[in-house]
Structure 1
Amino acid sequence: MHPIIYDVAVSADGYICGPDADVSAFPHSGPIVDDYMARLQNYAVALMGRATYEFGLAHGLPPGANPYPHMRSIVVSSKLELPETSEIELWRDLSALNTLRQQAEGPIYLCGGGVLAQALAQACHLSELRLKRAPCILGSGIPLFAPGTPSFTLSLLEQRDYGNGLLYQAFRIP
């Protein structure tokens, strides 16, 4: 069964974006981003929630386009509507998740957001958490995990200091 890996940028106070989906406080270039882009090549499937996909639409992604063309992409949403010619799959719920984990050609990249991460954690489907920690306080926005996420203890797998307060951490989720 392939792992689901939550690989995401996060502020020091635990937000993956600020108010109005603002991600300007996170680095958009440099070694930490280069390493993230290299990790993306190892994922077989991108799994995201509606708000994450709509973030791409707000930044010029055409409706139905795949934001990760080198991998299969799935949006989980009960409300999103996409064109018939969509390059991505639309799931209304997570009922096919076990089948996906068994049949995917490699690791599954959870690229957001907090609500979907909470649902996957609740169902014990998250295998690893990879954080690109930024030295900023956003104060509000979308949290790393939505309220209601069960508590769990993480095991540190890797840590890399990029200087200037930027830190990469990878954790195994039991």
Structure 2
Amino acid sequence: MRRIIYDVAVSRDGFIAGSNGDVSIFPHTGDHVDAYNERLATYDTVIMGRHTYEFAYQYGLPAGAKAYPHMRHLIFSEGVQLPADAEVEAVRADFTTHISALKKEQGGDIYLCGGGMFAGLLATSKLIDVLRLKVAPVLCGVGTPLFANVSERIDLKCISSTLHESGVEYCEFNLQ
């Protein structure tokens, strides 16, 4: 069975973006970036919510284009607007049913790119297998939470932890 892996940068206080979606709070250079790029090469499918996908528009990604050229893209949103010739697929309903079926398909690991609301839905539905955190040495105070709308405890088992020279700590957990 394929694994859903939430591989994400996070502040020490649990935010994947600062106020107004600010990601400049995270270090974008350093040895942790090389490790992340190596992990990206191992995923064959990426899943994300509409806000995460559309966030890339401000960095030049055209609507309907792939953010990661080697991966199949699934955008989970009832309202995402994509052109007819889109390279990405929209999933507009039955998100958890679709994810459960996706995990049973042939293929490699599935990269959960974000965001916090979508990750919260998958976590409460027990569909995330692995949590890979790139913990930045910063406190945000406000922003987009790692998991939104999660009201029950989720136990984690630490698999590995590495402190990079950049100051970013990489932590990998299995969700139990």
Q: Give the TM-score normalised by structure 1.
A: 0.96
For residue 72 of structure 1, what is the aligned residue in structure 2? 72
SS at match of 2:164: strand
Aligned length: 174
Residues 13-92 of structure 1 mapped to structure 2, 5 A cutoff: 13-92=13-92
Q: Which residue of 2 aligns with 1:2?
A: 2
The DSSP-based 3-state class of the residue aligned with 1:69 is coil
- Indicate the residue corresponding to 1:161 in structure 2: 163
Are the aligned partners of 1:50 and 1:75 in contact in 2 as well (CA < 8 Å)? yes
Unaligned runs of 5+ in 2: none
Please point out which of 121, 127, 130 is paired with 2:129: 127
Aligned-pair identity (%): 44
Q: CA deviation at 1:140?
A: 0.9
CA RMSD of aligned residues (A): 1.1
Q: 1:62 to 1:150 in 2, by over 3 A?
A: same
Give yes or no for contact 1:47–1:74 (8 Å, CA) kept in 2.
yes
Give 2:99's aligned residue: 97
Q: TM-score, normalised by structure 2?
A: 0.95
Report Cα offsets for 1:47-84 as digits up to 9, x if no partner.
00111001101211001000011010111011111001
Cα shift readout 1:118-169 (whole Å, capped 9, x = no counterpart): 1101111000100000011111110000023431111000100114532000
The one-letter amino acid paired with 1:169 is C
CA distance in 2, matches of 1:77, 1:123: 17
Structure 2 counterpart of 1:20, one-letter code? N
